[in-house]
Amino acid sequence: MPIPRTHKLMRSLRRKPALTGLALLLLVVAGFAQAQRGFGGRRPQSIDMDFSEVPTAEWHFARLVYSNASSSRRGRYGAWTTDYPDAEYHLSEGIGRLTRIDTGQVSSSGDGGRLVRLSDESVFQYPWLYAVEVGQWYLSEAEAAVLREYLDRGGFLMVDDFWGEYEWQVFVDSMRRVFPDKPIVELAEDHELLHVLYDLDQRTQIPGRGGQRPGTVPHWRGVFDDNNRLMVAINFNMDMGDAWEHADDAWYPEPMTALAYRFAVNYLVYSMTH
């Protein structure tokens, strides 16, 4: 199968006990407190758009590069750059510490992460793909066809950091080009994604840097294949990317960072074992 899978992953995780909530918080706070930040939450002035890198580890933070919708508010580089590269840096550090997954480490400047376009065959080399601010994305028919093939062949897409009904409709407009015949459904509290390693059925909203948004309700939704495998994990009205990005910032609430790490581990384990 072109998309790499890991057959030893669950056995290795069983050999390494899941961390308690306190231990996870200590790792997140102490382990990352001295980390050097990339762009300090600001948009980078330049990005090395090298799409020729090949996988060197079992898992890399693979970020989807997409075009902005005509209504997007983003400028030079687009909405897909949100939280880059700090989210990559901190999450890769966390995955390496909390699991036995062979993780491609990312430097504070973003080296080691992977930028992926749907116009490039390299997308099929990564089992997990992250797309941020999809309330501002646009997928062409050709890009939608590639994403559909990627997901049908075993890939996993996580989308994050979009809010309100307007951004939901922008997301859905492109998602319908990917799967016009598959519904978007709410994940039940007993779904395996929320329990594959950590039990995460609290339905707690993970806030962005501006805090929780009044009037917004968090939703964990998804798109499933014909065998009931979750292909697209949809984090609506929440911002896990900010929680990863600001893992070493004292002002960001520590429990939310710890929760976002648990979700990331669950998503990754699910994606690489299903």
Residue 1 lies in a domain: no
**Average of pLDDT values for 80-109?**
94
Q: Is residue 163 in a domain?
A: yes
Quick: pLDDT tens for 207-264: 998 777 767 899 999 999 999 999 999 999 999 999 999 999 999 999 999 999 999 9
pLDDT given at position 22: 40
Answer yes or no: is 123 within a domain: yes
| Domain contains 50 | no
Q: Could you tell me the residue range of the domain that residue 200 belongs to?
A: 9-44+56-273
User: Cα-flanking dihedrals φ and ψ of residue 116, to 5°?
Assistant: -125, 130
Taking residues 166-192, report their average pLDDT.
Answer: 97
Query: Residues with Cβ < 8 Å from 159, sequence gap 6 or more?
Result: 130, 131, 132, 134, 171, 232, 233, 234, 235
- Whether the bond between 85 and the residue before it is cis, its omega within 30 degrees of 0, is yes
Q: Considering the chain, what percentage of its residues have pLDDT values greater than 90?
A: 70
Amino acid at 198: Y
Residue with tokens 């693979």: 62
Q: Confirm if 78 and 67 have CB atoms less than 8 A apart.
A: yes
Is 222 a member of any domain? yes
Instruction: Give the Å distances, CA to CA, from 214 to 220, 237, 245.
Output: 18, 11, 22
Per-residue confidence (pLDDT) for residue 74, from 0 to 100: 66
CB crowding 154-187: b at 16 or more within 10 Å, else e: bbbbbbbbbbeeebbebbeebbebbbeebebeeb
Residues 256-268: tens digit of each pLDDT: 999 999 999 999 9
pTM for the model: 0.83
C-alpha–C-alpha distance, residues 144 and 141, integer Å: 5
Q: What is the pLDDT, as a whole number, of residue 267?
A: 97
> Where residue 24 falls among pLDDT bands split at 50, 70, 90?
very low
% of the chain surpassing 70 pLDDT: 79
Residue 49 lies in a domain: no
Note every long-range contact of 138-144, with CB atoms under 8 Å and residues 24 or more positions apart, other chains counting: 138/66, 138/67, 138/68, 138/69, 138/70, 138/72, 138/174, 139/66, 139/67, 139/174, 139/177, 139/178, 140/67, 140/177, 141/177, 142/118, 143/66, 143/118, 143/119, 144/174, 144/177, 144/178
Backbone angle region of 238, left / alpha / beta, with phi > 0 → left and psi within -120 to 50 → alpha: beta
- Whether 49 has a pLDDT exceeding 80, the answer reads no
Strands 62-65 and 114-117 come out as: parallel
Residue 51 lies in a domain: no
Distance, in Å, from the CA atom of 180 to the CA atom of 198, rounded to the nearest integer, reads 32
> pLDDT grade, residue 48 (50/70/90)?
low
Give the number of domains in the chain: 1
pLDDT in tens, 188-202: 999 999 999 999 977
CATH number for 173: 3.40.50.12140
Q: Is residue 131 part of a domain?
A: yes
